Chain A
Amino acid sequence: MSSERIPDDVERTVQTKTRDARLGSGVDDRFNSRLRQAVGSSPFILTKFDKFMNWVRGSSMFMLQFGIACCSLEMIHALMIKHDVDRFGAGVPRASPRQADLIIVPGTIVSKFAPRMKRVYDQMPEPKFVVGMGSCTISGGPFQEGYNVVKGAEEVIPVDIHVPGCPPRPEALIYGIAKLQERVANGESSPVVVKPYELEQFGDLHRDEVIDQLADRIDEDSLAMRYNWGDSP
């Protein structure tokens, strides 16, 4: 994500209360091409070119082969025989995040996995889109009260489309993907979410009892994620 880092003190007061609090302001900058950045303004030809690019993007989505939990089974079914999302131009799963522009998050995210998912997301090239599949990615789903469960994918990465259900049927997932394609093709997208749980260097984390306790075990430079379970929505 190209959003610049928010100063530390601001981040701590914004917190995670509602989704609104996490929405950034202004236009989503995900569609900006290098060319457009170089030229600066938007001459006619570039506008047309952008339109074309959006149509191309929407019509051929490469999704990441990314299974987490129960929902990933329905995702497999959406990909394979009978449902076959490839009919809509979004069904060739890529095993490497570097080749994908859509990540479907199909399942429960727990504290151990969240940093890894963030890393995978960061490895995807821009512009990239996220479909959250199932109640678990909305709120933690049936496991919301678990001591180890991250309460929704938006705690970690921004989500464009939520597909509710536990699990959503493959048809529902396909509808979600189709909706996303439609929006991408039209150049619409919601502003990118500000993430409360950044991966930060351990040494930069706000000092408190827990950090002090871990200080002799973790290298200052290693990346870490801090979970404030009490503040989670």
Chain B
Amino acid sequence: MSTLEHAPEGAVEVDPDEVVDRLGDRVIGRDEHVNAPAVIIRPDEVVDTLTVMRDEFGFDLLSCVTAEQFPDRYESIYHLKQYADPTTEFSIVVPTDRDHPQSQSAASVYETANWHEREAYDLIGIEYQDHPDLKRILLPDTWTGHPLTDDYNQDKPQVVAYEAHENPLLDHTEGAESDTILLNMGPHHPATHGVLHLKVTLDGEQVADVEPDIGYLHRCEEQMCQQGTYRHQIMPYPDRWDYASAGLINEWAYARAAEDLAEIEVPEYAQVIRTMGAELSRMAAHFLALGTFVLDVYGEFNALSMYAIRDREKVQKILEDLTGQRLMFNYLRLGGVAWDIPEPREEFFENVKKFTDEELPASMDEVHDLLTDNEIFQLRCVGTGVLEREVAKQYGAGGPVARASGIDTDLRRDDPYGIYDQLDWEVITDDAGDVYSRVLVRVREVEQSAKIVRQCVDLLEDWPEDEREIQSNVPRTLKPDPDRRVYRAVEGAKGELGIYIRADGTDKPGRFKIRSPCFCNLSTLPEMAEGEFIPDLIASLGSIDIILGEVDR
């Protein structure tokens, strides 16, 4: 499947027959998903199988765990990938009994399975045995029923308790000699970037334990997408996952999955516009990340956060010209984009060029002066919140968080879509894995994005007028063949943003699952923050750059 001329360093070639031979009688069947070969295994062999896949076949990334309910069974699908070559994919399908959906947990093989399986338990109701902490993750603990199952009654009343938070180290805290305290941060807190709740156990000034509690913005995105038709009704929702203006990238994630599912071609011209739009979105998202991070570490509204928002305004202006909206673009269509570059084209291109050639370099200098070269800032950020490379892999981290820990991964280069493989740009990495390198990676990525945008503008300017095809022919109602399954990802502003769709023969998806990069990145927070001081916890959290809409979906 690889489109690269040579296998990247560290990637392992995988032959599905060899995998089946090696797994022996753990395998009870085989299947073929659009993106990857799949093997079906027994629910009591999950740990062994995944260990073999990880250690012998080089699958060091568990991208996603998708749970589904069928009339006769439940299924968990483990989507495996290699960091070195994300086009080498494999799906491990684990069917379980409809009456007693129990399956072995993969949390001992991949850390990231912990949260993914909790989500699968929460929404679908599969019980993972030997899971370290199987409880609800998105919905309140008091919820009854599993909402994405077919027998769930949505009109049933629910009771949500405002319980007192228990101190995880309660036993140690009683009496005069108590040495830990529980600090509740959020869900309303200026530094949590929205509605995140952290249960922090402090030993003096040091963080002894931190447990992110999410779900305060669980807006049923998957249910909404399962209720919408492929052609038009789903596209508005992706804008609202990562709403830090990364909307076009999110839309592209859906477009890419659905186009592969329904075998739709996209004209080259539209791909160029998409690439340009996506990079503008990425810049806007990174500006926000920068602005809020500065707020987190400096404390008050200050010059740099204002500058970041000022630059964001400029990008938003360009995006508004292109799409008609400042934030919720709804601009991509399956098979292309909604409309062409606004007239007069020259003026639009002039604006973009003015931004990338003149304004951005100047404000990047400002950022470097005020922030990255600033000694106080460096004292604050260098060496805090370190995330080791191998740990990051275990948690399935992606995007700037992974790249700052020295993992050289970027789907734009490794699994190219759009026209990224025809352009000249670089993947930014850094080895330190601390707060400072995460910020630095983001700042440098903005520069790279500007480079990409600039090249796209050149291409668009020279595009012959009669070949400006913005959409291919797409049938009015799309009905992909039943039981086609696809998992496709794009490089979101925060990392690998993947969509799994199973078609059921109708014009709506049978199952729509979102793999959110923020969800995985946030699960690394305890690794970064434990043992650090509280202010460093805040800095670490800010440097992960989470958007709660995407964490909770």
Which stretch from A20-28, A50-58, A180-188, A204-212 is at the chain B interface? A204-212
In the complex, whether A112 has a CB less than 8 A from a CB of chain B is: yes
Given contacts A112-B216, A148-B147, contact A74 B193 (CB under 8 A): no
In the complex, whether A62 has a CB less than 8 A from a CB of chain B is: no
For chain B, residues 241 to 255, give those with C-beta under 8 angstroms from any C-beta of chain A: 243-245
1/0 contact string of A211-232 vs chain B (CB within 8 Å): 1011001110011111111100
Residue pair A111, B158 in contact (C-beta under 8 Å): yes
In the complex, whether A65 has a CB less than 8 A from a CB of chain B is: yes
Residue pair B549, A112 in contact (C-beta under 8 Å): no
How many angstroms between the C-alpha atoms of A227 and B301 in the bound complex?
A: 38
Between A111, A115, A222, A228, the greatest number of chain B beta carbons within 10 A of the residue's beta carbon is seen for: A111
> Which residues does chain B contribute within 8 Å of A223, judged by CB atoms?
161-162
For chain A, residues 158 to 210, give those with C-beta under 8 angstroms from any C-beta of chain B: 166-167, 169, 199, 202, 205, 208, 210
Residue pair A218, B216 in contact (C-beta under 8 Å): no
1/0 contact string of A105-121 vs chain B (CB within 8 Å): 00110111111110110
Chain A residue at smallest Cβ distance from B157:
A228
Residue pair B327, A211 in contact (C-beta under 8 Å): no
In the complex, whether A73 has a CB less than 8 A from a CB of chain B is: yes
Chain A residue at smallest Cβ distance from B227:
A145
Given contacts A110-B216, A147-B147, contact A142 B154 (CB under 8 A): no
Given contacts A70-B327, A149-B219, contact A213 B244 (CB under 8 A): no
For chain A, residues 83 to 97, give those with C-beta under 8 angstroms from any C-beta of chain B: 95, 97
In the complex, whether B29 has a CB less than 8 A from a CB of chain A is: no
1/0 contact string of B145-172 vs chain A (CB within 8 Å): 0010000101111111111100000000
Residue pair B155, A143 in contact (C-beta under 8 Å): no
How many angstroms between the C-alpha atoms of A132 and B180 in the bound complex?
A: 40
Of A80, A146, A217, the residue contacting B142 (CB under 8 A) is A217
1/0 contact string of A53-77 vs chain B (CB within 8 Å): 0000000000001111110111011
Residue pair B156, A229 in contact (C-beta under 8 Å): yes
In the complex, whether B257 has a CB less than 8 A from a CB of chain A is: no
Residue pair B218, A110 in contact (C-beta under 8 Å): yes
In the complex, whether B36 has a CB less than 8 A from a CB of chain A is: no
Residue pair B237, A142 in contact (C-beta under 8 Å): yes
How many angstroms between the C-alpha atoms of A26 and B310 in the bound complex?
A: 46
Residue pair A210, B309 in contact (C-beta under 8 Å): no
How many angstroms between the C-alpha atoms of A71 and B217 in the bound complex?
A: 13
How many angstroms between the C-alpha atoms of A70 and B549 in the bound complex?
A: 8
Given contacts A116-B187, A208-B157, contact A110 B219 (CB under 8 A): yes
Residue pair B217, A145 in contact (C-beta under 8 Å): no
> Which residues does chain A contribute within 8 Å of B216, judged by CB atoms?
110, 112-113, 116
Q: How big is chain B's contact interface, by range?
A: 35 or more
A105 CB to closest chain B CB (Å) equals: 11
Given contacts A80-B309, A142-B237, contact A112 B159 (CB under 8 A): no
Residue pair B155, A146 in contact (C-beta under 8 Å): no
In the complex, whether A35 has a CB less than 8 A from a CB of chain B is: no
How many angstroms between the C-alpha atoms of A222 and B140 in the bound complex?
A: 15
B105 CB to closest chain A CB (Å) equals: 24
Residue pair B139, A112 in contact (C-beta under 8 Å): yes
A208 CB to closest chain B CB (Å) equals: 7
In the complex, whether A34 has a CB less than 8 A from a CB of chain B is: no
Chain B interface SS verdict (over half): loop
In the complex, whether A81 has a CB less than 8 A from a CB of chain B is: yes
In the complex, whether A5 has a CB less than 8 A from a CB of chain B is: no
How many angstroms between the C-alpha atoms of A222 and B240 in the bound complex?
A: 34
> Which residues does chain B contribute within 8 Å of A205, judged by CB atoms?
159
Residue pair B158, A227 in contact (C-beta under 8 Å): yes
> Which residues does chain B contribute within 8 Å of A97, judged by CB atoms?
188
A175 CB to closest chain B CB (Å) equals: 16
How many angstroms between the C-alpha atoms of A40 and B240 in the bound complex?
A: 51
Chain A residue at smallest Cβ distance from B288:
A73
Between A80, A120, A199, the greatest number of chain B beta carbons within 10 A of the residue's beta carbon is seen for: A80
> Which residues does chain A contribute within 8 Å of B160, judged by CB atoms?
111-112, 114-115, 224-227
1/0 contact string of B122-158 vs chain A (CB within 8 Å): 0000000000000000011011100100001011111
How many angstroms between the C-alpha atoms of A187 and B319 in the bound complex?
A: 41
Residue pair A142, B236 in contact (C-beta under 8 Å): yes
Given contacts A113-B217, A217-B142, contact A145 B162 (CB under 8 A): no
Between A112, A120, A224, the greatest number of chain B beta carbons within 10 A of the residue's beta carbon is seen for: A112
Residue pair A227, B159 in contact (C-beta under 8 Å): yes
> Which residues does chain B contribute within 8 Å of A225, judged by CB atoms?
159-160, 162
1/0 contact string of B207-239 vs chain A (CB within 8 Å): 000000001111111011001000000001101
Residue pair A70, B328 in contact (C-beta under 8 Å): yes
Of B159, B217, B239, the residue contacting A107 (CB under 8 A) is B217
Of A67, A143, A210, the residue contacting B193 (CB under 8 A) is A67
How many angstroms between the C-alpha atoms of A149 and B237 in the bound complex?
A: 15
In the complex, whether B190 has a CB less than 8 A from a CB of chain A is: yes
For chain B, residues 318 to 336, give those with C-beta under 8 angstroms from any C-beta of chain A: 326-328
Of B158, B194, B220, the residue contacting A143 (CB under 8 A) is B220
B321 CB to closest chain A CB (Å) equals: 15
Residue pair A146, B223 in contact (C-beta under 8 Å): yes
> Which residues does chain B contribute within 8 Å of A111, judged by CB atoms?
139-140, 143, 158, 160
Given contacts A70-B549, A169-B326, contact A143 B163 (CB under 8 A): no
> Which residues does chain A contribute within 8 Å of B328, judged by CB atoms?
70, 166-167
Further 8 A-B residue pairs, CB within 8 A, beyond A73-B243, A145-B223, A225-B159? A67-B193, A81-B307, A97-B188, A112-B216, A113-B216, A146-B224, A147-B154, A167-B326
Q: Could you list 22 examples of A-B contacts with CB < 8 Å? A: A69-B219, A70-B328, A73-B327, A77-B312, A81-B309, A82-B309, A108-B219, A116-B187, A117-B188, A142-B240, A143-B219, A143-B221, A146-B220, A147-B223, A148-B147, A167-B326, A169-B326, A211-B159, A218-B163, A224-B159, A225-B160, A228-B157
Q: Taking beta carbons and an 8 Å cutoff, which residues of B are in contact with A? A: 139-140, 142-144, 147, 152, 154-164, 187-188, 190, 193-195, 215-221, 223-224, 227, 236-237, 239-240, 243-245, 288, 301, 305-307, 309-310, 312-313, 316, 326-328, 548-549
Closest 9 CB pairs of A and B: A146-B220, A70-B243, A230-B155, A223-B162, A80-B309, A113-B216, A224-B161, A115-B162, A147-B147
Q: Taking beta carbons and an 8 Å cutoff, which residues of A are in contact with B? A: 65-70, 72-74, 76-77, 79-82, 95, 97, 107-108, 110-117, 119-120, 142-143, 145-149, 166-167, 169, 199, 202, 205, 208, 210-211, 213-214, 217-219, 222-230
